[in-house]
């Protein structure tokens, strides 16, 4: 029975396991740090995928270590499944942006309130951009995070945040004092 194709979350876990065995806890942290900005996942999901993958032999749980850590290692089947996943055309991105929904229905809210939402979100995006730029400057050669591929995703984050901030700043909502400007 051909186990149905991996989902992207599971595949990512297998991807990280190529760097060596890891426990769920580490995988959560690693994934959130390395892909969390464009692929959200939760602790619950990670444990679920790990036990599911262990059941079908894509990973193998090792002996429990200190603090009950249970390291998972990639198996040959896991490696194969990962390779297969990479071979399939990646799907289109999905964006779910609640603020834009609110904005579409803007005529149903007081401008004041809408302006607060916009300012708040703008600030968050500005902070994110700042963080990405710091990361970008701090890149050390010779770390897994410095691979050109990884740098490329960081650059995506930067481009995205810049676009969002630019958009906020160009938003000219007829007469509202919704605008640019960092926090005073």
- Which residues sit at the interface with a copy of itself, rule CB under 8 A? 8, 11-12, 15, 18, 34-35, 37-40, 82-83, 86-87, 89-109, 113, 117, 120-121, 124, 147-150, 152-153, 155-156, 159-160, 162-164, 166-167, 170-171, 173-174
Residue 50 touches DNA, criterion: CB under 7 A: yes
Nearer to DNA, 45 or 162 (CB): 45
Contact at 8 Å (CB) between 168 and 106? no
Options 3-11, 99-107, 147-155, 161-169: segment touching DNA (CB under 7 A): 3-11
Nearer to DNA, 87 or 182 (CB): 87
Interacting residue with DNA among 16, 25, 117, 160 (CB under 7 A): 25
Q: Which long-range contacts (CB under 8 A, 24 or more apart) does 152-155 make?
A: 153/35, 153/37, 153/38
Find, among 27, 16, 28, 60, the residue nearest to 150 by Cα. Answer: 16
Residue 70 touches DNA, criterion: CB under 7 A: yes
What does 154 bind: DNA, a copy of itself, none (CB cut-off 5 to 8 Å by kind)?
none
Q: In the bound complex, what is the minimum distance in angstroms from residue 143's beta carbon to a copy of itself?
A: 14
DSSP-based three-state secondary structure for 102: helix
Place of tokens 């500005």: 126
Residue 96 touches DNA, criterion: CB under 7 A: yes
Residue 94 touches DNA, criterion: CB under 7 A: yes
Contact at 8 Å (CB) between 156 and 93? no
Sheet containing 71-74, strands listed edge to edge, beginning at the edge strand earlier in sequence: 22-23, 71-74, 59-61
DSSP-based three-state secondary structure for 137: helix
Phi, psi of 183 (to 5 degrees): -60, 135
Residues that bind DNA (CB under 7 A): 4, 7, 9, 23-26, 40-45, 47-48, 50-51, 66-70, 94, 96
């Amino acid at each position: 029975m051909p186990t149905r194709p991996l989902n992207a979350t599971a595949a990512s876990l297998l991807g990280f396991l190529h760097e060596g065995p890891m426990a769920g806890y580490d995988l959560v942290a690693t994934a959130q740090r390395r892909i969390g900005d464009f692929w959200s996942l939760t602790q619950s999901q990670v444990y679920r995928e790990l036990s599911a993958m262990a059941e079908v032999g894509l990973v193998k749980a090792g002996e429990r270590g200190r603090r009950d850590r249970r390291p998972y290692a990639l198996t040959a089947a896991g490696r194969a499944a990962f390779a297969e996943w990479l071979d399939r055309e990646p799907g289109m991105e999905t964006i779910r942006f609640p603020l834009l929904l609110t904005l579409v229905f803007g005529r149903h809210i007081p401008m004041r309130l809408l302006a607060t939402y916009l300012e708040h979100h703008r600030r968050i995006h500005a902070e994110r951009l700042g963080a990405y730029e710091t990361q970008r400057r701090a890149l050390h050669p010779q770390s897994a995070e410095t691979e050109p591929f990884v740098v490329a995703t960081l650059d995506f984050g930067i481009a995205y945040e810049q676009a969002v901030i630019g958009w906020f700043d160009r938003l000219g909502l007829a007469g509202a004092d919704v605008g640019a400007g960092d926090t005073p």
